[in-house]
Amino acid sequence: MDASKMEAAVRLFLEGIGERFPGDDLEATPARVARAWIDDLVAGYALDPDAELTWSQAPPQCGPVVARDIRFASVCVHHLLPFVGVAHLAYQPAERLAGLSKLGRLVDAHARRLTVQEHLTRRIVDSLDRVLRPQAALVVLEAEHTCMTLRGVRKEGSRFLTWAAAGAWKDDPGARREILDRLTP
């Protein structure tokens, strides 16, 4: 990422609003904003999400693994406004078992990029499927989008739910329903 280009863009943006820089608190703002985006908001571009998902050998006849309420923040590619929520992940191991903290790292590696919730959901389940090669995988994201709560229709508290599945949970509606019931309250 190019911090100097980001700083210049923020400076132009602030000038476009009518803000002035000399002698006021805004002088360091372009650099602070660039660092915030690079270090936090879009830090996922510096990561390989699949590499975040390390694994070990699964025990024989291992049951489903369910991780609920993994908090995430992302930025909508349409308005460059944040959306925040929780991710619920489940997979039925075949031979590979993910390290528990790695599931959160996987979510963050995908979420810390410009995206929309629907794509984010699909990318997370695709990584689970590609790296762990489970019998089944399912991801549910529930998020509040500031592009809907702070602007436009301004419907505060609105939350959106998306899900994506792979393997048996994609192909078998009954099995998918069973795991969805475990994932969502």
Q: Domains in the chain, ordered, with CATH? A: 3-41 (no CATH), 48-183 (3.30.1130.10)
107 neighbors 72 (Cβ within 8 angstroms):
yes
140 neighbors 162 (Cβ within 8 angstroms):
yes
126 neighbors 146 (Cβ within 8 angstroms):
no
pLDDT of residue 183: 80
pLDDT in tens, 139-177: 999 999 998 889 888 888 889 999 999 999 999 999 999
Task: State the burial class of residue 108 (Cβ atoms within 10 Å of its Cβ: 0-12, 13-18, 19+).
Answer: buried
On the question of pLDDT at 23 being above 70, the answer is no
Residue carrying the six token digits 């660092």: 35
On the question of pLDDT at 8 being above 90, the answer is yes
pLDDT of residue 138: 97
pLDDT of residue 9: 97
Average pLDDT over residues 13-22: 87
Average pLDDT over residues 91-102: 96
Judge if pTM exceeds 0.85: yes
- Of the given ranges (1-15, 98-112, 142-156), which has the lowest mean pLDDT? 142-156
Helix and strand totals (H; E) in the chain: 8, 7
